[in-house]
Structure 1
């Protein structure tokens, strides 16, 4: 009986220590992973040019689905 109780106490102590250590590790990681000041992204001329082109198949899609964007 004494052996079972001693084993149970060892398990409890281990789990208590493990839980405390993991909580401390998560808290430390949260502190170190906090973001700094956000940096602006400049896409450059190549990426800022217009990509959308209203081609014939796009106009047909609008016409078939009843969009009113083409009627100006």
Structure 2
């Protein structure tokens, strides 16, 4: 067994080591995207890209008729 006492770390030494660790992490974060392969594009398919709003449909015309939008033009 050794009876050596550790020296307490002062604030300046702690901040120096924390800054160095943060610098290494930032460098690793910058270098990582360079090693990644090409990403595949998301293909939404035909169902998600079709036109969803049909102004001539019966339900849309009924909505505007029941909410009085046709009568607002006549005033």
Q: Considering Cα pairs closer than 8 Å and 6+ residues apart, tell me whether 1 or 2 has the greater RCO.
A: 1
TM-score, normalising length from structure 2?
A: 0.48
TM-score, normalising length from structure 1?
A: 0.49
Question: Which is richer in helix?
Answer: 1
